[in-house]
Structure 1
Amino acid sequence: MPLHINTPLIRSSALSKSLNKNVWLKIDALQPSGSFKMRGVALACETYLKQGAKRFISSSGGNAGLAVATSAKILNVPSIIVVPRTTSITAINLLQLEDAEVIVKGDSWQEANEYALSLITDSDAFIHPFDDPLLWKGHATLIDEIVNAEIQPDVIVLSVGGGGLLAGVAEGLTRNKLTHIPIIAIETEGTASLHLAIQHNKPTSLKEIRSIATSLGAKQICDQAFYVTKTHHIHSILVSDQEAIHACKAFLADHRIVVEPACGASLACIYSNKDILDPYNNILVIVCGGSTMSAEHILSL
């Protein structure tokens, strides 16, 4: 049995009525770790365990780190999660709740990641937050579940950080022979590494991350995500931090589910009724989650 669950796929009455279209929600915020990351991370952890790994090491103070810690606890394998100093106490507490050893190192994910890599021994497996074919294969199960539910959207809306979810959804569409379905890839204005890569026609590093949607804060997308822009119909759209925050609050009111601004970015495309949606009547949004967010925090923003 996989460690992730088959999450609810529902038609949103509130959003469907607002847009006068069918809006479907794939609610991966309800995964055991609180985000879609559980899909790919769990597959990677199980695979590396079978290959002889005795410990998992990762570098993330957010959704990926919590997915690694959750998977490791279920599999009864020790884990080390290296997080930057910007990581919230709430996130650290959640990681420790899953029995992970938490090491705080560096001022950014890049610095935390460098330290995590320095800890790896021959008996360890490094679980990357977004750049690993096993992650994409696991994330692709989102599309399998949508197909099994006999729902075929006109378009899929998702948020993009490092590009793991985008790569996984594209893989899922390919293996289900649905490559004709376009993807609307959403970033906040201060995390637009995919948008920049498309402009430069190659993965290009942002000078800095300037957004409240910190889970989207990869300075450069993975190569596979850029490759997907060449093989699939991808719309790259930017939203403001305020649009993402408003979407989180509206989604909480409409559906009683807490998500973080990184997830709010994709929801903002719907709540703001962006023009890119005009040609489509059956819209599916991947509600990717937000492991460390609370209703009190969202409402205070």
Structure 2
Amino acid sequence: IELALAELAIAELHFHVNTPLLESVSMSKMAGTAVYLKMENCQPSGSFKIRGVGHLCQQVGAPSLCGNAGMAAAYVARKMGLPATVVVPSSTPALVVRRLQEQGAAVKVAGKVWDDANAEALRLAETEQLTFVPPFDHPLLWEGHASVVAEAAAALGPGARPGAVLLSVGGGGLLCGVVRGLKDAGWADVPVIAMETVGADCFNAAIKAGELVTLDDITSEAKCLGAKTVCRRAFELSQSGEATIISELVTDQEALRAVQMFLDEERVLVEMACGAALAAVYSGLIPRLQAQGRRPPHFLLLSLLGHLLLYTQ
């Protein structure tokens, strides 16, 4: 009975927190529309990843994965009393490795980019009987990430309706989760603007090619966007008509400038992956889309380190 109760408690536990929704006056002035920030940097693991990874880890055993998802998995595993092996590429900063170890995870460095580390994680899962938790390509991850839209809808209140969602894309997990969340909220027709940096643009490349594309290398400094191939579900969403997705690119310089401006104006330091979404405001992309008739007026919602932006009519 005690074991059953413990399992029930874990199943009902939410590892993520309901993050604040804050208005940015300075970004609103620059965008020509009210901008709201969904502060996903306030999550226990530092990014939106805890939503999907926490949800998935409730269904599986010891995780083995990398990046911001690895930090989330290490946190969740510690809370659940499970061992965790996190595989990271050599581009991972030493500080991140140390933080993973402080969470109690075993850390293995493999390869240059995320795809190399992912291949090693899959090998370890098979040879050492570990349960593999993918960082972005799993329906349970998307189900967990959808909670960020549900929270936004609750915070905005009855009658508020998004005009668009702007987010960064790496492997596509957040995109898939947001599309699901929009459907759950009754906002299925809300367009999504998907931002990437040049050199980490597997989603944009797939849309242009009309099929999944594997990049030769990741040359962008936005390492958390550094998947060589976007997940198939994200690509299918861009092609099927289930969601309206607008894919846009910014340079590393534009993303970095956005990070610096955001630090100056909001006193919050974020990584370049988040800067890709911020650059949509700071580089003038939002007014350009409006001039082209590709986005409605009114207000935006931005999540930090979760790379999510949304605006409504």
Normalising by structure 2, we get a TM-score of 0.86
Q: Is the 8 A contact 1:57 1:127 kept in 2?
A: yes
* Cα distance in 2 for residues equivalent to 1:273 and 1:107: 33
Question: How many correspondences in the alignment?
Answer: 283
Corresponding position of 1:198: 207
Asked if residue 36 in structure 1 is aligned to residue 36 in structure 2, the reply is: no
Distance in 2 between the 1:66 and 1:201 partners? 33
Identify the residue that residue 125 of structure 1 maps to in structure 2. 131
- State the superposition RMSD in angstroms: 1.5
Cα shift at 1:214: 0.8
Aligned to 2:103: 98
SS at the partner of 2:131? strand
- Partner residue in 2 for 1:215: 224
Aligned residue in 1 for 2:302:
286
Aligned to 1:191, the other structure's residue is in SS state coil
* Equivalent residue number for residue 295 of structure 1: none
Trace 1:165-244 onto structure 2 (pairs within 5 A): 165-229=174-238, 230=240, 231-244=242-255
The corresponding residue for 1:114 is 119
User: Any stretches of 5+ residues in structure 1 without a counterpart?
Assistant: 291-301
**Is 1:265–2:276 an aligned residue pair?**
yes
- Structure 1 CA distance for aligned equivalents of residues 170 and 304 of structure 2: 11
Q: Answer yes or no: is 1:137 the counterpart of 2:146.
A: no
The letter for the 1-side match of 2:149 is: I
Structure 1 256/277 Cα, relative in aligned 2: closer, same or farther at 3 Å? Answer: farther
Letter in 2 for 1:224: R
Following the alignment from structure 1 to structure 2, what is the Cα–Cα distance between the partners of residues 177 and 19? 26
What residue in structure 2 maps to residue 70 of structure 1? 75
* Comparing 69-78 and 271-280, the one that deviates more: 271-280
SS in 1 for 2:199: helix
Counting aligned pairs with the same residue, the percent is: 41
1:13 partner amino acid = V
String of CA shifts for 1:97-128, please: whole Å, max 9, x gaps. 10100111222322222221122258632111
C-alpha separation in 2, matches of 1:107 and 1:20: 41
In the alignment, structure 2 segments of 5+ residues that lack a partner are 1-12, 307-313
Name the CA shift for 1:282/1:194 in 2 (closer, same or farther; >3 Å).
same
Kindly indicate whether the alpha-carbon contact (under 8 Å) linking 1:30 and 1:289 is maintained by their aligned counterparts in 2: no
Matched, 1:161 2:167: no
CA–CA distance in structure 2, aligned partners of residues 109 and 75 of structure 1? 26
Shift of 1:277: 4.2
Query: Which residue is 2:310 aligned to?
Result: none
Q: Secondary structure at the match of 2:59?
A: helix
- The residue type equivalent to 1:91 in the other structure is V
CA shift in 2, pair 1:22/1:170, >3 Å = same
The reply to whether residue 248 of structure 1 matches residue 259 of structure 2 is yes
Residue 119 of structure 1 aligns to a residue in which SS? helix
Does the Cα contact within 8 Å between 1:158 and 1:285 map onto a contact in 2? Answer: no
Aligned to 1:3: 15
Deviation at 1:281, TM superposition (A): 2.1
In the alignment, the residues of structure 1 paired with residue 224 and residue 64 of structure 2 have an alpha-carbon distance, to the nearest angstrom, of 19
Provide, for residues 66-121 of structure 1, a one-character-per-residue CA deviation record: whole Å limited to 9, x for no partner: 01111111111110001122221111001011010011122232222222112225
Task: Pick one of 39, 43, 46 that aligns with 2:58.
Answer: 46
**Matching residue of 1:13:** 25
Letter in 1 for 2:121: A
Partner SS for 1:212:
coil
